[in-house]
């Protein structure tokens, strides 16, 4: 599983790129980046949930990766977004699109970093399709590279805007 910081950074960088090049700043207010970044951590809510569960039941069951890391939640938030979209509640629709995207990126990243247990929860299909290339050991380096590239992008983009 990827670092918490990676989950936040990657989603913010990707959404920011979409904001720059696809949607435009007016249609994609900055707060959506914040919501997306937080949603990028969403599936790991099962870490504090495990603490609470273990505290209350004095069991040693680890909930991490058991159900919040399921594509079900991505589709659930996407469904809410589509519903709001149809009802023309555009601001809320965007918020739920972004939550769905952030949640989805978490699953993608965890998969790229070695996989986890139940991608298809509540169904019990195998989740063994994630590549095992051991990039987990370079997690901190990857964070640094992403951050530096993004800072360079921001600087260059700002310059371009200044010149126009
Ligand atoms: Zn995770």
pLDDT by residue (tens digit) across 35-79? 999 999 999 998 999 999 999 998 888 888 888 999 999 999 999
pTM for this entry:
0.87
Q: What separation in Å is there between the alpha carbon of 61 and the centre of ligand 1?
A: 17
Question: Comparing 124 with 101, which gets the higher pLDDT?
Answer: 101
Cα 84 to middle of ligand 1, angstroms:
27
8 closest CA partner among 40, 32, 31, 48: 40
Q: How far is Cα 113 from Cα 58, in angstroms, rounded to an integer? A: 30
The model's confidence at residue 162, banded by pLDDT at 50, 70 and 90, is low
Cα 131 to ligand 1 centroid, rounded to whole Å: 16
């Amino acid at each position: 599983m990827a670092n918490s910081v990676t989950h936040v950074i990657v989603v913010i960088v990707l959404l920011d790129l979409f904001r720059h090049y696809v949607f435009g700043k007016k249609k994609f207010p900055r707060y959506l980046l914040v919501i997306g970044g937080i949603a990028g951590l969403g599936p790991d809510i099962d870490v504090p949930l495990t603490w609470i569960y273990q505290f209350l039941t004095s069991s040693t069951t680890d909930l991490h990766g058991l159900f919040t890391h399921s594509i079900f939640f991505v589709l659930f938030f996407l469904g809410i977004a589509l519903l709001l979209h149809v009802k023309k509640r555009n601001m809320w629709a965007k918020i739920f699109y972004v939550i769905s995207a952030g949640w989805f990126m978490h699953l993608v990243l965890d998969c790229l970093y070695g996989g986890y247990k139940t991608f298809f929860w509540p169904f019990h299909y195998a989740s063994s399709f994630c590549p095992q290339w051991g990039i987990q050991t370079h997690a901190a380096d990857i964070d640094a590279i992403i951050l530096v590239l993004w800072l360079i992008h921001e600087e260059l983009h700002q310059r371009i805007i200044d010149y126009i």
